[in-house]
Amino acid sequence: MTDETPDTPQVASGDDSSALAPATPGPVFLVSYPKIVFLYPTVLAALFGAIFMWVNGNDSAQSYARLPGIIFLLVVLVNFVVIAFDFPRANSLVLFSGFVAVSVTLWMLFDMNPTFAPWITKQLHKVSPAANASFYMLYVLMMLFLFTCVMISRRFDYWEVRGNELLHHHGILSDLERFSAPNLRIDKEINDIFEYMLLRSGRLVLHPSQERRAIVLENVFFINQKEERITKMLGALQVRIRTDHS
């Protein structure tokens, strides 16, 4: 018969209150992109045009070539409007979307019903934008090349938010600039509804402590998630600091 003694709880010596503090989340990387990244819908439209033309014989002189040409030009037009102007409110988005929808509906109405308005239909048929598959694929390849160059360039210019500092990585030789982050204040701005819809992007304004100038980062992808992670990181740091001094 063996004696069994109950386990006694171990009491840690010293002040172990810091162990109760939440762990600081991992770093958050912030990258500011140029507006060309918002042109990816035109790449998708061009890819559709290339596939459509290849499947249907790739003869730009045929009537079927009008469809991908019209779709491509409409997407290019809408995409350029998104880049050229800001739509900060939902009502401007609804107004512009309604204008595009009405224009496309009228075009299809006159084009598919020649007897409805013969003169207008005749004028519309004179407009015959068409291109072969090579044109669309060259556009796709050129845009993909530009996107690749943009992505590579961003590897040499980005920001990193850590629990206690803000780092700016820039230059081919990875130059590093440091800012104090414990009292960092951030402002999130969504100035364009369309750009937010395309890439969930917006503007982040960083206000490091002991810095007079604000750091403005345009076109930050998935801005809501980035702002939420930074807020949690700074909040966890403040809780840990208060716990360490309690």
Tell me how far apart the alpha carbons of residues 59 and 52 are, in angstroms, rounded to a whole number. Answer: 11
Note whether 189 and 202 are within 8 A (CB): yes
Query: CATH classification of 23-36+153-244, choosing from 2.40.40.20, 2.30.29.30, 3.40.50.10680, 3.40.50.150?
Result: 2.30.29.30
Kindly give the confidence (pLDDT) of every residue in the chain, 246 residues in length, as a single tens digit, with 9 standing for 90 and above: 444 444 444 444 444 444 444 555 678 899 999 999 999 999 999 999 999 999 998 888 787 888 899 889 989 988 998 888 877 766 666 777 777 777 777 767 766 676 766 766 666 667 678 889 999 999 999 999 999 999 999 999 999 988 778 889 888 877 888 887 677 888 888 888 888 888 999 999 988 877 788 889 999 999 999 888 888 877 765 544 444 454
Closest CA to 217 of 80, 79, 34: 34
User: For residue 34, which of 189, 201, 161 has the smallest C-alpha distance?
Assistant: 201
Domain positions in the chain = 23-36+153-244, 39-145
14: CB partners within 8 A, 6+ apart: none
Residue 156 CA to chain centroid, in angstroms? 19
- Report the alpha-carbon distance of residue 52 to residue 6 in Å, rounded: 77
In sequence order, the β-bridge partners of residue 183 are none
Contact between 188 and 204 (Cβ < 8 Å): yes
- What's this model's pTM, rounded to 2 decimal places? 0.73
Token pair, residue 128, equals 């015959």
d(CA 31, CA 217): 7
